[in-house]
A and B are shown apart, each in its own frame.
Chain A
Amino acid sequence: MPLEILVTMVVCGVVAIAIILHMSGRSAVVPLTEDSATRAWLRHSPDSAVQSARPAATGHAALVTTEQGMGIVWCFGADTIARPLDTAKIEPHPKGLCLRFADFSTPSVTIILSSEERAVWKDAITAAPSPTVLSQKTG
């Protein structure tokens, strides 16, 4: 197949699929509740025992306290990602907090928080011990 036709077809196909998905609501985030945040954490770290899950007002992330320490779950498209907070660096961000991880596959996440939430989250994260590192196996 001529390269210019292949490239045109691929670009048009990707753009068309992206527009159709976005216009049909497939970009919407599913907000986290206390229950769904707990389930999401256990999905990523089934060995831990969750003591509490505290979703942000936006529902885009939740602080999770386990017997082993503290972690975070956040919305990732229609799904979730979870990370312990033992290696995370916390930085202020105009919209809330930015958490940076020493992980090329998950470099950082920005958590949208109100000014009140910001202080509470920062205090909770810095005060609590962190869980042991989640399983690193990726297969």
Chain B
Amino acid sequence: MSDTLNYPDVTQWAVPFFIAAILAEFLWIAIKGRGGRYETRDAVTSLIMGAGSVASGLALGVIAWGFFMILWQVTPLDLGTSVWVILLCFVLDDLRYYWVHRLGHRVRWVWASHVNHHSSQHYNLTTALRQTWTGTFSFIMIVRAPLILLGFHPAMVLFVGGINLVYQFWIHTEAIGKMPRWFEAVMNTPSHHRVHHGRNPRYLDCNYAGVFIIWDRLFGTFVPEQAHDRPDYGLVHNIGTFNPIRVAFHEWVSIFKDMTQPGLSLKQRFLYALAPPGYSHDGSRDDSATIRAKHLKRHPEDQGTAGFDRR
């Protein structure tokens, strides 16, 4: 069983490409006068969040790596390092990403880490880099355990995970409309991911895919972009700060405040951490299902249309 295996850190090597692509997208928007919006402080905040995410990965990555190496010592399986194994690992890791991402929107403890990626009211290539600093604290690395126990080396699992993240960079743009039909059917695209970032009631909690949109189609969470309902980006309850510290930690602070308020049962305290975002013990807040129901009350004509046909 091989213990040492080295793959390039693709997210770090992609940094020059990220910077060049952001400048190219901005120039395109400036010249064409369409295809998205940029705002200085929003973009700088996103870029700082991206840099901080890399830094936190360097500082805290050892925790996840140690956990993965323990699993690697435990498992009797070793699938090797052939190209086919790497490709299989990539596909299975994308399935892993789908569920991690879905949990990231449906479990507040994980949402606290992921929320900052959705906290911009813009949608451009800098938004892709607005990444979490607190992923380690969500313990979501556990979802990678089955891959390692199946015999995929931890270094390979992290390598394909990096490729997955790099793929997702280019889909954070309004400069690209729709890709060819076959591509839209199989792959995650700017159109599908714009929907995921929409705060419109129609678009809440859908399109969790990383690379292959087939997972959303398979598990019933796919919603196509509607020409008459353009995605409105950001959070349902948008945050009023460009301070990266507040962006990174605001939901954790909210969880702490909610869990420690007086007069709650133990179950209610846990639900403030583990229930979907929008849970409240007294019903004073709206979760995504309630938001959709309220929208349909205002707009009954939308009943049964895309995004409102989910159970």
Contact = CB atoms under 8 A, between A and B. Distances in A.
Interface in B8-57: 9, 12-13, 15-16, 18-19, 22-23, 26, 30, 37-44, 47-48, 51, 54
The listed residue with most A CB atoms (<10 A of its CB), out of B9, B42, B54, B298, is B42
Interface string B46-80: 01100100100000000000000000000000000
A27 B246 contact: no
Interface string A105-122: 111010000000000000
A78 B298 CA distance: 28
B184 interface: no
A124 interface: no
A9 B16 contact: yes
A138 B251 contact: yes
A44 B240 CA distance: 12
B41 A134 contact: no
B19 A13 contact: yes
Given A81-B240, A133-B284, A138-B236, A104 B254 contact: yes
Nearest to A6: B12
Nearest to B104: A139
Interface residues of B, number: 63
B44 to A, nearest CB: 5
The listed residue with most B CB atoms (<10 A of its CB), out of A104, A106, A133, is A104
B61 to A, nearest CB: 14
B37 A47 contact: no
Given A1-B12, A106-B240, A106-B241, A137 B42 contact: no
Interface stretch (B163-171, B259-267, B274-282, B302-310): B274-282
A137 B40 contact: no
A79 B284 contact: no
Given A17-B43, A44-B238, A107-B246, A137 B38 contact: no
B23 A17 contact: yes
Interface stretch (B133-141, B222-230, B286-294): B286-294
A21 interface: yes
A49 B44 CA distance: 35
B240 A76 contact: yes
Nearest to A23: B40
Given A10-B15, A47-B294, A136-B280, A27 B39 contact: yes
B37 A138 contact: no
A89 interface: no
A105 B111 contact: no
Given A79-B234, A109-B240, A138-B235, A21 B287 contact: no
Interface in A59-78: 74, 76-78
A21 B40 contact: yes
Interface of A: 1, 6, 9-10, 13-14, 16-18, 20-22, 24, 26-27, 43-44, 46-47, 74, 76-79, 81, 83, 104-107, 109, 133-139
Given A44-B238, A138-B278, 12 more contacts: A17-B23, A47-B298, A77-B40, A79-B234, A79-B238, A106-B240, A109-B240, A135-B291, A136-B285, A137-B286, A137-B287, A138-B111
30 contacts: A1-B9, A6-B12, A10-B15, A10-B51, A16-B19, A17-B44, A17-B47, A26-B39, A26-B40, A46-B294, A46-B295, A47-B294, A74-B240, A77-B40, A77-B42, A79-B121, A79-B234, A79-B238, A81-B239, A104-B249, A135-B237, A136-B285, A137-B285, A137-B286, A137-B288, A138-B111, A138-B277, A139-B105, A139-B204, A139-B235
Interface of B: 9, 12-13, 15-16, 18-19, 22-23, 26, 30, 37-44, 47-48, 51, 54, 105, 111, 115, 118, 121-122, 126, 204-205, 232, 234-242, 246-247, 249-251, 253-254, 276-278, 280, 284-288, 290-291, 294-295, 298
